[in-house]
Amino acid sequence: MSSLLLLTNALQPSTEVLPALGLLLHNVRVAPAEGPALVDTPGADVILIDGRRDLPQVRSLCQLLRSTGPGCPLVLVVTEGGLAAVTADWGIDDVLLDTAGPAEVEARLRLAMGRQQIVADDSPMEIRNGDLSVDEATYSAKLKGRVLDLTFKEFELLKYLAQHPGRVFTRAQLLQEVWGYDYFGGTRTVDVHVRRLRAKLGPEHESLIGTVRNVGYRFVTPEKPEKGERVDKEKAVEKAAEKSDKAASSANQDEADTAAARRAETVSADS
C-alpha cells in the first residue's frame, strides 16, 4: 500500500477526481491545489494533481512542484479534452484520464514509483561540506582536493556522519547503521574508527567529527567567516607582516651601525 497525495479543490475528491482510487488499497490524503498549502504537507510516494479544470493554473502548480523538488513522481489527472494541452514543460511524470479504471491506475502508479527508484539508485550522491567532498560513486573522499586514504568502514562512517551534519548519533546507532545488524563487536569499534578518521583528516580538520560527551559523535559543519571577518583577518596578516619587515629592517640597521662603529674603533686604534 502506497501513500498518495491528491491535490485538488474538489468538494468530493475521492469520488469526483479519480473514482478508481476508491477501489484501490492506497492511503490517499487530500490537500488544496495551491502552492502555499504544500509547505506543511507530509511526504508521499506519488503526488496526484487534479488537472480537470483551470489548466493554466494547474500548469503553474506542476512547474512549482517540479522546481521545489518533492522527491516523488508527479501524476496529472485530466479529462480527455485536456490531454492536448499537456506538454513536457509541465514537469510531470505521467498523465491519467479521470475515467481510467483501477487496473490502469494501479499500473501507472507502480511504474511511476519504479522509475523514480531506478533514477535514485543510478544517481550516486556527492556530499560536499566545506573543504570535504565524499563521492559515493568512487568510494573516495577528498579534503581540499587531497584524496584521503580510508578503509571501507572509515569511508562509510565519514559518509554517514557527513550526510547528517549537526545530528548527534550514539555509538550504538553508528554501529547499527555503518556496521549492520549482524555485527557482534562492541561500541569501542566506533571510537577506534573515529580516532583513525581524525588522524587522517589531520590537525586542521579533525574537529569535523565532534564528540558529544556521554552521548556520541556528530559531523560539525565548518563555519564560513563573514566578509567583514575575512577583511579584518587579512588586515591583521598585513599588519603582522609589516611589523615583521620593520623589525627585520631595524635589526639590519643596528648590525650595520655596530659594524661601522667597530671599523671606526679599529681605525682610531691604528692611528
- Residue that wins the pLDDT comparison between 172 and 126: 172
Q: Options 3.30.450.40, 3.30.365.10, 3.30.390.30, 3.40.50.2300; which CATH number does 3-121 get?
A: 3.40.50.2300
Residue type, 135: D
For residue 224, the model assigns a pLDDT of 58
Residue 187 has pLDDT above 60, yes or no: yes
Sign, Cα dihedral of 9, 15, 17, 22: positive
**C-alpha dist (Å) from residue 263 to 12, 267, 269:** 108, 6, 10
Task: Give the list of residues 6+ apart from residue 143 with CB closer than 8 angstroms, or none.
Answer: 131, 132, 201, 202, 205
Considering only 6-15, 202-211, 238-247, which range has the smallest mean pLDDT? 238-247
Q: Where are the alpha helices (DSSP H) in the chain?
A: 13-16, 55-68, 102-121, 152-163, 171-174, 188-201, 227-270
> How many helices (H) and strands (E) in the chain?
7, 12
Residue 259 has pLDDT above 70, yes or no: no
Residue 49 has pLDDT above 50, yes or no: yes
pTM: 0.47
Residue 264 has pLDDT above 60, yes or no: no
Task: Give the list of residues 6+ apart from residue 24 with CB closer than 8 angstroms, or none.
Answer: 102, 105, 106
Residue 61 has pLDDT above 70, yes or no: yes
For residue 153, the model assigns a pLDDT of 92
pLDDT tens track for 141-158: 999 889 999 999 999 999
Residue 126 — pLDDT band, cuts 50, 70, 90? confident
Architecture of the CATH domain 126-219: Orthogonal Bundle (1.10)
Q: Is 7 left (phi over 0), alpha (psi -120 to 50) or beta?
A: beta
The mean predicted confidence, pLDDT, of the chain is 81
Bridge partner list, 126 = 135
For residue 229, the model assigns a pLDDT of 46
- Residue that wins the pLDDT comparison between 238 and 44: 44
For residue 10, the model assigns a pLDDT of 87
Per-domain boundaries in the chain: 3-121, 126-219
Edge-to-edge strands of the sheet including 146-147?
126-129, 132-135, 140-143, 146-147
Residue 130 has pLDDT above 80, yes or no: yes
Considering only 19-28, 45-54, 197-206, 261-270, which range has the smallest mean pLDDT? 261-270
What's the distance, CA 17 to chain centroid? 36
Pairing mode, strands 94-97 and 74-78:
parallel
| Contact call for residues 208 and 127 (beta carbons, < 8 A) | no
Q: Report the pLDDT averaged over residues 62-78.
A: 85
Residue 222 — pLDDT band, cuts 50, 70, 90? confident
